[in-house]
Amino acid sequence: MSTLLVAFLSFFGFIAAYHFYGRWLSRKIFGLSEDAIVPSVEMRDNIDFVPTKKSIIFGHHFTSIAGTGPIVGPAIAVFWGWLPALLWVLFGSIFIGAVHDFGALVVSLRNRGQTVGEISGRVISPRAKLLFLLVLFFALTVVLAIFGLVIAIIFKDYPESVLSVWLAMPLAVGIGFWVFKRKGGLIIPSLIALVLLYAAVAVGVYMYPVVLPATMLGYAINPIVFWTVLLMIYCYIASVLPVWVLLQPRDYINSHQLFIALLLMVAGLVVAGFSQQTDITTSAPMVAQNIPADAPPMLPFLFITIACGACSGFHCLVSSGTTSKQVACETDAQYIGYGGMLLEGALAVLVILCCTAGLGMGVIGEGGEMLTGIDAWHTRYNPEAGWGAFSLSAKVSAFVDGGANFLSTLGIPLAMGTGIIAVLVACFAATTLDTATRLQRYIIQELAGTLKVTPLKNMYAATALAVLFGFVVAMLPAAPGKPYGTGGLILWPLFGATNQLLAGLAFMVTFFYLWRRGKKVAFVAIPMAIMLILPAWAMLWNMFNAKTGWLPTGNYLLFGFGAVIMTIQIWMVVEGLLIWKKSKGVLEPDLPPLKTSTSPQVATANPNC
């Protein structure tokens, strides 16, 4: 029953926050208006700028920001105990993460859909713009590498998920042409696609799991490398197509699939709670005591380990990169930006419960015996094995096993439940992967414009560079003689700190946007300080800790990345301090006029509201 109580109180908190705090931000602080002309209308090109119904754009936004972050992060963090992880997810998502996403979306909506990096050049300084764009480039390179590897690992470990994930692509293209070109209805085709996708899960589970052969054309096949190459090719194609061809319909279909999987988990949790099959208090430690010596300290690392699900800098890129170019009505921003982050927080709560209470319902031990309770939890989180033995595969499988256990209480066979949850993880990661590629293309084009590198202003050249950098970083070997693709995963600690520093810098942009307009800023200033100080603390610990630090242990690749990012962050903070006092109440320079546009001054209302 305690598991159900934790879930109920958490979900109630999210709902209350949306209706009270979110509404206050929307009406009193940002003053959202149905009469505002949004970028998707003013700059419509039917490629990147496309006015979209909020139900569709919500699906894109949620599936893009979620990815595997709210799965992997909480699955790691319960190593320190489920209570600290739960509290950070609950309060972090309400007061920090959702404010971050919502602020970035609104500021972008009022700056022609520009990314927060581009906007920083006007609200802070031109140097800040270049510095911010460089941070974004580094962060997105790591995102492409890590999320590509995560999907490749899912395909390798759970071959039953492969068919459903790839089938979504042609179905999405067909729906995109049907809706956009033929003006057909969306509901029936999307439901048909949903049935086909779940049928594909069953086919993968019971008949044809996609297992790669050991050799092909006389060459040994590394499944991680094979799937990563294929995924990067897909990302290139998906990221240069108009959003209505693949991105919007694919995310819309996936959102249905993901929501159903989440609802099934919630239903299973309710059944398990009422039937007393699960109890979080006996399945995992509330606050872990036997922390291995090689593990980083919970403070500050809890706050960078759980990024997506509490607060994630990557979200500012989605909010200001793709979502702001498709929002059809400014008042939709609360539903999409603030509400989308709260739903991700709810997902992170489910992950915590799956990796503790769900896992405690039973797993197969190494000797083939059935383990339950704290013994089951220790099969995935064994302090005696040390932090270094805690692999990415174990983190993901803890969620998959726990989620499948919840589904089994509904009468769903365990094998089918495992397939459904594995597809959930892969679909989340896939939507984030190609969205990140499109975002990286925007960043490279903005950098090319700033640095006067004309060839990289081209959409196809910028996308090719984005994919190339992501693939190279993903394929780094962990050490000389190790297989390709094993070293990309060592970037996860770098991603955590960089991602959270990025959130702090995005808060700076929102802070100065409001500061220049004489608005209240305390609700932004406090999260900004938290997201600048804690990640910097974690980054410096990673760089210089005597036992495991990157510099003392000779990991110069990570140390170099960390040193560059820390230097850029400090420089940006200095830029902000230099203009802080003199910028209060002083509006930033106006954007240059468009050659052809519907002027907001003469428009009377947005017909999409």
Residue 595 belongs to some domain of the structure: no
Provide the domain limits for residue 202. Answer: 2-583
pTM comes to 0.89
Q: Closest by alpha carbon to 447, among 95, 182, 130?
A: 130
Q: What is the pLDDT of residue 597?
A: 47
Q: What is the CATH number of the domain that holds 240?
A: 1.20.1740.10
Rg (CA), the chain: 23
Residues of the chain with pLDDT under 70: 1, 388-392, 478-493, 596-605
Query: Between the CA of residue 116 and those of 26, 104, 395, what are the distances in Å?
Result: 19, 7, 32
For tokens 């297992």, the residue is: 211
CA dist 432 and 475 (Å) reads 19
Tally of structural domains, the chain: 1
What does the pLDDT read at residue 462? 95
Q: Using N-to-C axis directions, what is the helix angle for 54-66 and 247-274, rounded to 10°?
A: 70
Res 392: pLDDT: 66
The whole-number pLDDT of residue 44 equals 93
Flag whether 591 is in a domain: no
566 vs 457, 470, 526, 562, CA distance in Å?
A: 28, 21, 20, 6
- Distance in angstroms (rounded) separating the CA atoms of residues 77 and 351: 11
Residues 6+ apart with CB under 8 A from 76: 305, 306, 390, 395
Interhelix angle 556-579/126-157, rounded to 10 degrees, is: 140
Contacts of 174 by beta carbon, 8 Å cutoff, 6+ apart = 189
Give every CB contact of residue 397 below 8 A, 6+ residues apart in sequence. 157, 380
Q: What is the pLDDT of residue 493?
A: 65
Tell me if 219 is assigned to some domain: yes
In a domain, 607, yes or no: no
* CA atoms within 13 Å, Cβ hemisphere of 510: 34
- Other CB atoms within a 10 A radius of the CB of residue 207 amount to 9
What's the confidence (pLDDT) of residue 480? 59
**Confidence (pLDDT) at 244:** 86
Handedness of CA 190, 193, 195, 197 (dihedral sign): negative
In a domain, 432, yes or no: yes
Half-sphere exposure of 302 (CA within 13 A, CB side): 18
User: Is 597 in contact with 112 (CB distance < 8 Å)?
Assistant: no
The answer to whether residue 307 sits within a structural domain is yes
Residue 603 lies in a domain: no
What the block records as the tokens of 65 is: 């920001």
Between CA 562 and CA 569 the distance in angstroms is 11
User: Is 605 a domain residue?
Assistant: no
Q: Which pLDDT does position 599 carry in this prediction?
A: 41
Distance, in Å, from the CA atom of 480 to the CA atom of 385, rounded to the nearest integer, reads 25
User: How far, in whole angstroms, is CA 535 from its chain's centroid?
Assistant: 17
Q: Give tens-digit pLDDT for 465-509.
A: 999 999 988 887 765 566 666 566 566 667 778 889 899 999 999
Residue 481: phi, psi to the nearest 5? 90, -10
